[in-house]
Structure 1
Amino acid sequence: MSIPGLDAWLSTAAGRYVLDWEQRQLDAAVPDVFGFHALQLGLPQGDFLRSNRIPLRLKAGEYGAVDLLCNCAALPFASLSTDLVVLPHVLEFSDEPHQILREVERILIPEGQVIIIGFNPLSLWGLKRKFDCSDEFPWNGSYLSLNRLKDWLKLLSFEVDRGQFGCYIPPVEQLKWVQRWQFIETAGNRWWHFSGGVYVLRAIKRVHGMHLITPNWRNKSVRAKALRPIAQKEGHGR
């Protein structure tokens, strides 16, 4: 199973442009996340955990060159077992985005992090998707606005930590047009950053009522237990 047209689109100038931007964002976002288990769910064509130092890093998903083939809506991982989950373009191309997020919340430890990559419907890319009847990637997805995604995360007790928009170039296919539109990247970041074609959103799983237990470094005198004399039994039958 694979997303129709994904590999073909990633080989175009527009596909490489988007994937390169996303890779740079994740290379900068994941080095400061620590723990024991990290998971990239979907889009195995990108190596979004490569700059992370967590010892066990897995790619999982429903297609492609992954370490584990699985249903994204029913993850085969134990609850509270994962420190970091990256979701590159998984939610907008799934029939069960809510369930996938619930599964991510289930497997993340308290204070674990999820990083979501998605296409922005309030952009030129979103406008093209609205009028494009193609059933191939990336125009066959149900793009999620950042506000809707934030609402879903809030219901699952996630706290949004930071986000970034990018890919302001119109969705052109030819390399010469991608190169000619490069000037708009700086202008978009400065003047209309919310209209980038792609966003990266990072959120932290919060557990209400939980507080960290820290060691008590103050020296405390330990009261020695008094030794009790053992009562000797008097002999019987004397």
Structure 2
Amino acid sequence: MRNDDLVHARHPTELISRWYNTPMGARLAKDLAACLGRLADDAFGYHAVMVGAVLPCEPRLRIRARTQVAATREELAETPLMAVQADFDYLPIETESADLVIALHVLESTREPHEIMRELDRIIRPEGRVMIVGVNPVSFWHWQKSWLGREKMMRTGYLAGQHRAAWRVVDWLRLLGYDVQSVEHLGGVCPTTRPRFYDKMTRCRALSGKWLWFMQGFYVIDAVRRVSTPTAIRPAFRLPRMIPNKTRATVANQTTCQTTPPSRQQPSGRTINLFKK
């Protein structure tokens, strides 16, 4: 099988998982795991689900019960977590059972991400957390597609799939009723394949995080699912009427009925005029 056919045959998340096992991918996965652990430091619950690509280093979470869902068996070969192979459109997880969901490059795996968004929304409990990781399509990391060939895309697996903008994903989450807490950016502006050069550009990445955050390669969206509880509409508050007022109204009605003169009827037969001489 040729490399071109191999690129089309493999799942996008599998290519991304393979790239995270490269030296440069492992270095970026370390920063990504630290970012996810920092954002999820105040996330509590019983069940956490990681959907999508598999990181070589796991983020530190307070939730101990974790489940890894991937699209292929090759991605789940080395993970120590409870592994499940399934399609992202139909997750084998009960409705509203996950307290924390971390979606790693899930939206890149399909051209119609709305079904995946609804499926993620289904498994998250009310007031649960969701974190979505993606590649920034307006960064130089994404623009490498224009000058890299198909063969080199095997080495840069993060270019696989359809990249979604962070602001578009935020709009989808708000339409579903989520409260977006923050949007973190990482990876720097300039893409590289050497971890040493990546470490030397630490100060530049810090400056770009302040001024050129929209040009960095990766983003992490942190959102909370808000569920509105329906409440009955009550009438406006009014003071009760005084009893004398009710009595007066009753008496007035009775007086009006009693003082109304009855209709007079004309007597039948001949009338007598008493004043006639």
TM norm structure 2: 0.68
Matched, 1:88 2:97: no
Provide the secondary structure at the position in 2 that maps to 1:100: helix
Q: 1:175 to 1:97 in 2, by over 3 A?
A: same
| Equivalent residues of 2:108, 2:160 under 8 A apart | no
Match among 12, 16, 21 for residue 26 of structure 2? 16
| Cα separation, 1, equivalents of 2:57 and 2:120 | 19
Offset at residue 114 of structure 1 (A):
0.4
Q: How many residues align?
A: 210
1:169 and 1:178 in contact (8 A); partners too: no
Partner amino acid, structure 2, of 1:42: G
Contact 1:32 / 1:52 at 8 angstroms: preserved in 2?
no
When residues 130 and 105 of structure 1 are mapped into structure 2, their CA distance, relative to the original with a 3 A threshold, is: farther
Larger CA deviation: 117-126 vs 11-20? 11-20
What SS does the corresponding residue of 2:128 show, helix, strand or coil? strand
Which consecutive residues of structure 1, in runs of 5 or more, have no partner in the other structure? Answer: 212-238
User: By how many angstroms is 1:180 displaced?
Assistant: 4.2
Structure 1 window deviating more from structure 2 (168-177 vs 116-125): it is 168-177
CA deviation map 1:36-85 (0-9, x unaligned)? 2110012223454x422224211112122161111111011111111110
Do the aligned residues in 1 keep the contact of 2:89 with 2:115 (CA within 8 Å)?
Answer: yes
Is the 2:48–2:100 contact (alpha carbons within 8 Å) kept by the matching residues of 1? Answer: yes
* Identical residues among aligned pairs (%): 28
Question: Given that residues 114 and 204 in structure 1 are in contact (C-alpha distance below 8 angstroms), is that contact kept between their aligned partners in structure 2?
Answer: yes
Residue 176 of structure 1: CA displacement? 4.4
Higher gyration radius (CA): 2
Equivalent residue for 1:158? 178
In structure 2, the residue corresponding to 1:51 is in which secondary structure? coil
- Give the aligned partner of residue 220 of structure 1: none
Query: Counterpart of 2:186 in structure 1: which amino acid?
Result: G
**Cα gap change, 1:154/1:133 in structure 2, threshold over 3 Å: closer, same or farther?**
farther
Secondary structure, counterpart of 2:87 in structure 1: coil
CA gap 1:58/1:177 in 2 versus in 1, 3 angstroms: same
Query: TM (normalized to structure 1)?
Result: 0.79
**Is 1:178 aligned with 2:198?**
yes
In 2: Cα distance, 1:117 partner to 1:95 partner: 16
**Which among 211, 225, 231 is matched to residue 205 of structure 1?**
225
Q: Is the 8 A contact 2:17 2:54 kept in 1?
A: no
CA deviation string 1:100-147 (max 9, x = no partner): 110010111111110011111121112223444435412222111111
RMSD: 2.2
C-alpha spacing 1:86/1:8, structure 2 compared with 1 (3 Å) = closer
Structure 2 gaps of 5+ residues are 1-9, 232-277
Q: Per the alignment, do residues 84 and 70 of structure 1 end up closer, same or farther by CA in structure 2, a change over 3 Å counting?
A: same
> Structure 2 matches for 1:41-52, cutoff 5 A?
41-48=51-58, 50-52=59-61
Q: Deviations over 1:139-196 (max 9, x none)?
A: 2221111111111112211121111111115222134433443331121112212211
Closer, same or farther: CA 150–6 of 1 in aligned 2, 3 Å: closer
CA–CA distance in 2 between the matches of 1:208 and 1:131? Answer: 48
In the alignment, the residues of structure 2 paired with residue 124 and residue 13 of structure 1 have an alpha-carbon distance, to the nearest angstrom, of 20
